[in-house]
Amino acid sequence: MASEIQQNQVIEIVLTSAVAYGDPYNDVELDMLVSAGDSQQLRVPAFWAGDNVWKVRFAGDDPGDYTYVTEANVDTDEGLHGQTGTITVQPYDGDNALLRHGRLSIADDRRHFEHDDGTPFFWTGDTWWMGLTTRLDWPAGFKELTDDRVAKGFNVIQIIAGPLPDMDARDPRGRNEAGFPFAEDFERINPAYYEHADVKIAHLVEAGLMPCIVGMWGFYLPIIGLDRVKRYWRYLVARYGAYPVVWCMCGEAVMPYYLSESQEADAVLQKQGWTEVMAGVRNIDPYNNLITIHPTRSGRAQVEDPGLMDFEMLQSGHSDIASVPQLIDEVAEAVGADPTMPVIEAEMNYEGILGRAWQNVQRLCFYHAVMRGTAGHTYGANGIWQMSTAEAPYGRSPHGRCWGNMPWREASQLPGSRQVGLGGQFMRRFPWWKLEHRPDWISNTETDVPYCAVAVGIPGQLRIVYMPMVWNACPVIGIEPAVAYTAYWFDPVTGEDFDIGAVQPAEDGSWTAPLPPECHDWLLVLENV
């Protein structure tokens, strides 16, 4: 069979077994061995698609001619084993950044992301935990929310492919158009569930939004069993690995089930188990998609070998503005930890949770994180992660609490999402990956930690100061005498710039900007132009 695709686009090869299997999901293991010239042979796993059908999805990172042969553990099945073909990959000629620049990798500095072609990638994520369920209707609702996030400047969607948080595996809130991800005994996958997930994942990619695919919530590991979870993750790699995705092993990896009677033992089991799952995924993904884990606090603390992770996620709490000092401490610890890796604050103060954490808190969390060295930020809104509607509010979790029932459409228009999007666009104005944290460049006028200023920049070229409350502007100090800076205020609420003009420091190198139009948080930018 001969096929042709463009670079980084996905081609699907369909195989039909010549044998009827009683348990195809568990009994059959099928790979496609792909070769291109002298390059290393790729072993691309296939997935069971239901009945007697298997599929292989492949994407070529580089243009050229590829050949393949299939290899099944049942070598007598002529429908699966020994099938051959060629695939020609042409250069990509479209405008989708995920396909034009290639999948994500870790930059040489080990602190930020970049595409395969070296283009830096500033992570601006949104949290759609239940986005693959019918709580977000397809196509209208899903496409509406996609368009809204693209328009606001998001480029990553964190979404769960399997069993969900805050509920039992058979909770009806976890269904999609074809039911649940697993059979009731967890012995096998439900392929029909993932057929519906396929179109949604593909739509995100087509829109330029990178799926960060979370396998399941962490407490399911002792419930489902380690071997079944490892097989499930092979299935996810086979089904979605060819797309430009990021893998997140699970959510809250070491948090036991809320009603567990053996929480300490479950936490130990989960830490060991998810470490093993992560190592397995690293071995079977031919595309080397980046791997992380969603934590209760620090991602490093969720696994026995942090070196298995490509980047670290943090979850710094949902205590409104009181969470910000904790965020500052946890970001500093993660950025300074060994081994060095990019850091993302991946769950921070869902906007509207428990009727608080509104737009001002979203801005505080975003700027305090990214200006202390994170490689981006993930926003979340209560109501969106649950995909609540007026007709079907999320309601209570197993522990009895209700986090809030704001419908997702209303939650999607909370101002914090636009302002985090503006924050991502603001950071991309500059070579953000080169910015240094420079507390020595400011004389803080605020001692209250959430409201203390923070400065970053490139010596002699750029200074950026985030001032969480501009009642009195924070003095900039140590300005180089031979550098001619011009300055402006950036309003993180509206995205507007307000020109100040030439910076004229005192003899000691200090300068205080004139006050901006309103008293709230602002960013002061000094550029050597």
Say whether 228 sits in a helix, a strand or coil. helix
Question: The dihedral of CA 193, 251, 371, 115: what is its sign?
Answer: negative
Task: Say if residue 118's pLDDT is above 90.
Answer: yes
Mean pLDDT of 444-457: 89
Mean pLDDT of 78-96: 97
**Structure tokens, 240:** 């979605």
C-alpha dihedral (296, 299, 304, 305), degrees to nearest 10:
170
Q: Looking at residue 448, what is its pLDDT? A: 82
Q: Looking at residue 32, what is its pLDDT? A: 98
- Per-residue burial over 51-75, b if 16 or more Cβ lie within 10 Å, else e, is ebebbbbbbbbeeeebebebbbebe
Q: Looking at residue 179, what is its pLDDT? A: 98
Q: Looking at residue 223, what is its pLDDT? A: 94
Domains assigned to the chain: 2-90 (2.60.40.10), 97-432 (3.20.20.80), 436-528 (2.60.40)
Q: Going by C-beta distance under 8 Å and a sequence separation of 6 or more, which residues neighbour residue 312?
A: 292, 298, 299, 300, 306, 334, 337, 341, 342, 343, 344
Q: Are 113 and 376 in contact (CB under 8 A)?
A: yes
**Structure tokens, 18:** 């010549």
Q: Looking at residue 351, what is its pLDDT? A: 98
Mean pLDDT of 145-160: 98
Residue 264 CB neighbour total at 10 angstroms? 9
Task: Say if residue 1's pLDDT is above 80.
Answer: no
Q: Looking at residue 445, what is its pLDDT? A: 77
Interval 127-140: pLDDT, tens: 999 999 999 999 99
- For residues 526 and 53, what is the distance between their CA atoms, to the nearest angstrom? 60
Concatenating the DSSP letter of every residue in 187-218 gives SSB-HHHHHHHHHHHHHHHHTTPEEEEE-SBT
Stated length of the chain: 529
Q: Looking at residue 389, what is its pLDDT? A: 97
> Phi, psi at residue 511, to the nearest 5°?
-155, 135
Interval 204-216: pLDDT, tens: 999 999 999 999 9
Mean of the per-residue pLDDT values for the chain? 96
Residue 27 CB neighbour total at 10 angstroms? 12
Task: Say if residue 447's pLDDT is above 80.
Answer: no
Interval 5-61: pLDDT, tens: 999 999 999 999 999 999 999 999 999 999 998 778 999 999 999 999 999 999 999
Task: Say if residue 257's pLDDT is above 90.
Answer: no
Interval 214-226: pLDDT, tens: 999 999 999 999 9
Predicted TM-score (pTM) of the model is: 0.97
Question: Residue 303 half-sphere exposure, CB side, CA atoms within 13 Å?
Answer: 25
